[in-house]
Structures are given as C-alpha cells and as structure tokens.
C-alpha cells in the first residue's frame, strides 16, 4: 500500500494494522513525516514475528517520489492531498501513479466534496465514488 500525502500516516498505518504486509508513507512536511515515522514504529511494535508489517516513511514531495521510485509495485495507492493542491497537480500525480500499480491495482483519491472528480489518465478506469459529509472518495483501477 502506498499512502501519498500521508500526513501522520493514519491511512497507511490503518492498512498495516488490517493486514497490509508493506506500506510506504510519503510526506513532504518535516514535522508530519516525523510524526508518521513515530506512528509507524508504534504500529510495527504492536506486531510479533512474521506478521509484522514493513512500514517505510519517505520525507519527499509526492512528485519527486513518484518520478524516482523504482521497481516497487503497489496493490493500493491512496492520495489524500491538501485541499489547496490544484486539479492539474493531482492529474499529474495520477499519471505518474500508473507506473507503480500492480496488475489489478486500485487507486483511491480523497478530497473535499467541493473539488471536482479527479482527471483520470486513460490507464485508470473509475470504479466508484462515495461521499461522507464534506469528503468525497473516488476509486479507480488499472485497466487490463
């Protein structure tokens, strides 16, 4: 699982606590990345033996991480960008995510309900949308 714009790491660490074997958290803000790293250690420490998830924290911009990641493939990619991220920047992120998706991989984007639906690259097919109060979540998967 890849958690982009991870903040404290809550989304990715929840996935780890529910069985994700490997989670990568990407956060640019130094203080938030430190919090994510502390939270990751707490989650990892709550497991014993072979069930312990592998959690990494990259203190990096999402764009830089996506442009330089090599070899990793993710089943789930979650983007929860700050509200002020432009639609164009989000579309650019989604275009780069394709190269990191495993076959059948799913992308989830969380934004304000006031934001338009993400501009999906042709490689991704929208699956569904769900609204929760002030939050909208969209799912898409890699086309086969």
- State the residue range of the domain holding 49: 2-142
Cα 6–chain centre separation? 7
- Dmax over CA atoms of the chain, in Å, equals 44
Number of structural domains found in the chain: 1
Q: Say which CATH number the domain at 62 has.
A: 3.40.50.150
pTM for the full model? Answer: 0.92
> pLDDT tens string for the chain (144 positions)?
999 999 999 999 999 888 888 999 999 999 999 999 999 988 877 776 667 788 899 999 999 999 998 778 999 999 999 988 999 999 999 999 989 999 999 999 999 999 999 999 999 999 999 999 999 999 999 887
Q: Are 14 and 5 in contact (CB under 8 A)?
A: no
CA angle 46, 70, 117 (to 5 degrees): 80
């Amino acid at each position: 699982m890849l958690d982009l714009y991870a903040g404290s790491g809550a989304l990715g660490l929840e996935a780890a606590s529910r069985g994700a074997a490997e989670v990568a958290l990407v956060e640019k803000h130094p203080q938030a990345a430190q919090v994510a790293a502390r939270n990751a250690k707490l989650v990892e420490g709550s497991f014993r033996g072979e069930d312990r998830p592998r959690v990494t924290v990259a203190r990096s911009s999402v764009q830089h991480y996506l442009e330089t990641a090599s070899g990793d493939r993710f089943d789930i990619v979650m983007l929860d960008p700050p509200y002020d991220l432009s639609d164009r920047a989000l579309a650019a992120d989604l275009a780069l995510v394709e190269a990191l998706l495993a076959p059948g991989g799913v992308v989830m984007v969380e934004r304000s309900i006031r934001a338009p639906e993400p501009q999906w690259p042709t490689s991704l097919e929208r699956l569904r949308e769900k609204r929760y109060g002030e939050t909208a979540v969209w799912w898409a998967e890699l086309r086969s």
